[in-house]
Amino acid sequence: MSINSKNISLFYNEKEILNDISIEIREGKITTLLGPNGAGKSSFLNIISGDLDFYKGHVYYNQRNLAEINIQEKAFLRSVMAQSQPIVFDFSVYEIVEMGWLEKGDIKYSNNFKTALQEVLTECDIDYLKDRKFNTLSGGEQRRVHFARSLLQLWRESNSLDPCYLMLDEPTSNLDLFHQIKMMNTIKKLSTEGVGIFMILHDLNLAFKYSDYIAILKNGKIVTFGDPMSIINDDILSNTFDVKIQVNKKDDNIFINYV
């Protein structure tokens, strides 16, 4: 099962932002979108998450047209971690994470809440922060809290077959190296548990290490799409980013060098 985007085009103020994009995001796999700023990456994420609705083309969630899925159902199908807005009132970290829990009105589900919350707090290493006021946290800590909230939104009982997708727009910004790696490991773990992951990243090395599929977007068009080992080379990267890049492939790993 997957999210299928077909022939997505986006116009805004008579400018073409996206041109005929067709990408598949598979459950259980990590798909990363790379590209220079202004390529249209965030707009694409907004389209496939269901936030933007004035586009051409179609998006299907497991063969269902996204445009026909209502807002509550969408919330159960996918979780998004994007730029966050300042929070005006003094909520505690616990209260912010808790907002990711979607009430299905199902008593059984509600009993899982405490378990789920604890799992998520531990996984994101914020258990010790849970009673602190959110606004007193550093930028990086706040990011981890929002990440935890996105995870809570996705939480399913272990025997559940419900599809779910996680979309992340630059999730690692503001995080120190330790927490960047920790977050990427969590994301990897989620994908092995069956969650379909879609990410926008700036850090190429990180992207190549963790992704199952890479899509490169430049000027609104897909330059290439596929598994990193096969599609990534010096020319493609250098042309995309207008920087001389040297690609090194060794033992199933890819890392790049700027010349």
Partner 1 sequence: MLSIINLKFLNSAQSFILFFLLILLLLVLIISFSLGSYSFPVLSILMGNTSAIEATIFTEIRVPRVILAAIVGASLSVSGACLQGLFRNPLADPGLIGVSAGAALGASTIIVFGSSLTSAFIFSTFLLPLSACLGSGLVILMLFLLTRGFGHQGVTYMLLVGIAVNAIASVGIGILTFISSDSELRSLTFWTMGSFGGITWSLLIPALIIIFISFLFLLPILRNLDILQLGESEAKRLGVNVKSLKYRIIFASAASVGASVSLSGMIGFVGLVVPHLLRLLSGVNHTYVVIGSALLGSSLMVFADLLSRLLIQPAELPVGLITSAIGSPFFLWLIFRINKI
| Residue spans of alpha helices (H) in the chain | 41-49, 71-77, 93-98, 107-123, 139-154, 177-192, 204-210, 228-231, 234-241
Looking at 40, 100, 196, 220, which residue binds partner 1 (CB under 8 A)? 100
- Check residue 43 for interaction with partner 1 (CB under 8 A): no
Least CB distance from residue 158 to partner 1, whole Å? 23
Strand partners, 197: 30, 166
Query: In 3-state terms, what secondary structure has residue 11?
Result: strand
Residue in the block written with tokens 């849970």: 130
What's the residue count for the chain?
A: 259
Instruction: Please say which residue, 65 or 84, places its beta carbon nearer to partner 1.
Output: 84
Instruction: Please say which residue, 33 or 167, places its beta carbon nearer to partner 1.
Output: 167
- Check residue 53 for interaction with partner 1 (CB under 8 A): no
- Check residue 102 for interaction with partner 1 (CB under 8 A): yes
* Residues of span 64-93 touching partner 1 by CB under 8 A: 71-72, 74-76, 79-80, 82, 84-85, 87-92
DSSP 21-44: EEEEEETTSEEEEE--TTSSHHHH
- Check residue 103 for interaction with partner 1 (CB under 8 A): yes
Q: Which residues bind partner 1 (CB under 8 A)?
A: 49-51, 71-72, 74-76, 79-80, 82, 84-85, 87-92, 95-96, 99-100, 102-103, 105, 153
